[in-house]
């Protein structure tokens, strides 16, 4: 991860300068004064580390306190803070263990790294950190810890990089090109190595505190700041059917979903986790819901917010209408629209008496009703499902059932523009149009209904020059060959008749049509 470096903090500059100065003096002469200087620096760093540790402890306590107040809101950041604590303690204790090992290598088993006797020992540091390869492990641990801390926050990247850097100086200050372990621990007096490890411990606690501060600030980072707070009542509907429930959600306009206010209706606290209020509505009329909320403002003070909401209770009602006609026809798929004010279509159901009809949804919010008995009344029952899933009757609606009326026979043909036309007789029909059609059609086509029938048979009647009638019968809807031959012999102004049309409709009732179609040749 490439981080753009910024200026080193004054504190870090001071520590680095002190350590470099002592190292320079050490290079000239390992005198008692120099060794005393390392001891003083180590003691100063230890005091500074203890102070930072105490501050970090207070931060961890603040995380715990916040977590007890609001676990949903704080859990993520508190858990991350505990991970920071674990990683920091591991690296801190590792450095402390290395200090003890160096002290024991210099003074023996009972050595005290805070009161070193053989401070000038040049072998102890090299043995523990190079020969035993602990310096290598320490460098890896610092790099791993630095990357972990960088992942926790993006606000102090340069501070973490500089405080926990394992880069070695440039060639001018490192002519022998030593690695990080050799540069800091090879042939170093024991007190110098211990002081450097104390500096690492100080850096760990310092970085730990900075990351904790950033995590603590993020607890409230997603909070919305507002300059006005209102109490709101959000009803599922303001129009309530008698016998149903009035349901409403009572909230603040700027609500914190992890901290619920206390809600009071008629001075009694509402027992709810999500602010939902419900009351049974058994009488029609205008009603008002009044109450108030008590909200903790964070300082322990409760602030009151009043609210009011009106709603209307109405009698059960529904609208049922035949989409294409005023009556229902037996044996026919009658489209019917059913609606209930304030209720979505997917919560409405309709039923009919068994044996009298079938009713099914058309998949588009409407219904198809197929009555089976002519002359009887058909009742359609309507019900609506409430928010709680309970079904409530919206009433019954009565329709008269009739047989489908007789269709009208006609000849279908294409005009010069390719449009389908229906010839119903009484006017002239071109011989070309007549010869282009295959037969006749029967349908109810009155501008409202358009119901096709199947033609079973029909008869054409022609008259010769002597006035004699020539009847020709066709089985089915198509003209027979004899009939077509007669058409070819018809001149302009001649006419013939189509009668005795038998047809069957969607109700499966066969009927003889009383209509006679007069065809006049143009």
Query: Half-sphere exposure (CA, 13 Å, Cβ side) for 200?
Result: 29
Q: Which residues contact 419 (CB under 8 A, 6 or more apart)?
A: none
Tell me which residue of 440, 363, 359 sits closest to 407, measured CA to CA: 440
372-387 residue pLDDT tens: 888 888 888 898 887 6
H/E stretch holding 238 reads none
Q: For residue 489, what pLDDT is reported?
A: 87
What pTM value is reported for the model? 0.45
Rounded to whole angstroms, the Cα distance separating 124 from 186 reads 9
Q: What is the mean pLDDT of residues 294-309?
A: 73
pLDDT digit string, tens, across residues 5-14: 445 566 656 6
- Return the pLDDT at 448: 67
Q: Which helix (H) or strand (E) holds 344?
A: none
Q: How far apart are CA 393 and CA 351, in angstroms?
A: 11
pLDDT of residue 279: 81
- 162 compared with 236, residue with greater pLDDT: 162
CA distance 366 to 352: 15
For strands 428-429 and 517-521, give the pairing.
parallel
Burial 388-425 (b: 16+ CB within 10 A, else e): eeeeeebeebebebeebebbbbbbebeeeeeeeeebeb
DSSP string, 280-321: E--S-EEEEEEEEEEEE-SSS-EEEEEEEEEEEEE----EEE
Contact call for residues 338 and 348 (beta carbons, < 8 A): yes
Confidence of residue 254 (pLDDT cuts 50, 70, 90): low
Cα gap 364→345, rounded to integer Å: 9
User: Which of 4-18, 87-101, 410-424, 462-476 has maximum average pLDDT?
Assistant: 87-101
CA–CA gap between residue 277 and residue 125 (Å, rounded): 73
- From the list 181, 167, 174, the residue with the least C-alpha distance to 27 is 174
Summary mean pLDDT of the chain = 82
Q: Rounded to 5 degrees, what are φ and ψ at 346?
A: -75, -5
pLDDT band of 491, cuts 50, 70, 90:
confident
pLDDT at position 327, please? 84
Exposure of 450 by Cβ count < 10 A (0-12 exposed, 13-18 middle, 19+ buried)? Answer: exposed
Does the pLDDT value for residue 302 go beyond 90? Answer: no
User: Tokens 């390869």 belong to which residue?
Assistant: 133
> Is the separation of the CB atoms in 323 and 337 below 8 Å?
yes
Q: Can you tell me the distance from the alpha carbon of 368 to that of 373, in angstroms, rounded to the nearest whole number?
A: 16
pLDDT digits (tens, 9 = 90+) for 115-153: 888 888 889 999 999 999 998 999 999 999 999 999 887
């Amino acid at each position: 991860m490439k981080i753009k470096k910024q200026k080193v903090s004054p504190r870090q500059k001071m520590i680095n300068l002190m350590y470099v100065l002592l190292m320079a003096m050490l290079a000239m002469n390992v005198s008692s004064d120099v060794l005393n200087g390392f001891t003083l620096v180590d003691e100063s760093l230890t005091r500074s580390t203890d102070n930072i540790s105490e501050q970090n402890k207070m931060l961890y306590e603040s995380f715990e306190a916040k977590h007890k107040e609001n676990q949903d809101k704080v859990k993520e950041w508190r858990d991350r803070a505990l991970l920071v604590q674990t990683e920091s303690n591991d690296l801190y204790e590792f450095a402390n263990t290395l200090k003890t090992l160096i002290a024991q290598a210099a003074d023996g088993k009972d050595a005290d790294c805070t009161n070193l006797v053989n401070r000038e020992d040049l072998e102890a540091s090299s043995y523990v950190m190079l020969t035993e390869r602990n310096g290598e492990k320490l460098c890896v641990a610092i790099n791993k810890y630095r990357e972990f801390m960088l992942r926790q926050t993006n606000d102090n990247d340069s501070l973490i990089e500089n405080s926990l850097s394992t880069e070695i100086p440039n060639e001018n200050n490192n002519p022998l090109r030593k690695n990080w372990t050799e540069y800091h621990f090879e042939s170093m007096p024991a007190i110098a190595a211990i002081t450097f490890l104390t500096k690492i411990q100080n850096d760990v606690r310092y970085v730990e505190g900075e990351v904790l501060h950033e995590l603590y600030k993020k607890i409230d980072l997603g909070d919305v700041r507002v300059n006005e707070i209102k109490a709101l009542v959000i009803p599922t509907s303001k129009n309530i059917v008698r016998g149903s429930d009035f349901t409403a959600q009572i909230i603040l306009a700027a609500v914190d979903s992890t901290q619920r206010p206390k809600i009071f209706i008629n001075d009694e606290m509402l027992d709810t986790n999500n602010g939902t209020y419900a009351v049974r509505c058994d009488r029609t009329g205008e009603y008002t819901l009044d109450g108030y909320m008590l909200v903790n403002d964070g300082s322990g003070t409760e602030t009151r917010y009043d609210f009011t909401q009106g709603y209307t209770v109405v009698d059960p009602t529904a609208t049922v209408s035949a989409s294409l006609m005023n009556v229902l026809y037996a044996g026919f798929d009658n489209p019917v629209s059913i609606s209930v004010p304030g209720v979505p279509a997917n919560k409405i159901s309709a039923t009919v008496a068994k044996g009298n009809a079938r009713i099914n949804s058309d998949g588009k919010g409407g219904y198809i009703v197929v009555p089976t008995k002519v002359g009887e009344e058909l009742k359609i029952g309507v019900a609506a499902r409430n928010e709680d899933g309970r079904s409530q009757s919206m009433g019954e609606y009565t329709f008269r059932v009739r047989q489908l009326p007789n269709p009208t026979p006609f000849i279908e043909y294409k005009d010069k523009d390719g449009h389908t036309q229906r010839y119903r007789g009484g006017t002239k029909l071109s011989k070309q149009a007549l010869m282009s059609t295959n037969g006749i059609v029967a349908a109810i086509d009155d501008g409202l209904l358009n119901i096709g029938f199947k033609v079973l048979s029909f008869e054409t009647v022609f008259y010769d020059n002597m006035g004699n009638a020539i009847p020709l019968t066709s089985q089915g809807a198509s003209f027979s060959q004899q009939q077509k031959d007669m058409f070819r012999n018809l001149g302009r102004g001649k006419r013939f008749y189509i009668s005795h049309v038998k047809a069957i409709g969607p109700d499966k009732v066969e009927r003889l049509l009383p209509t006679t179609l007069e065809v006049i040749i143009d």
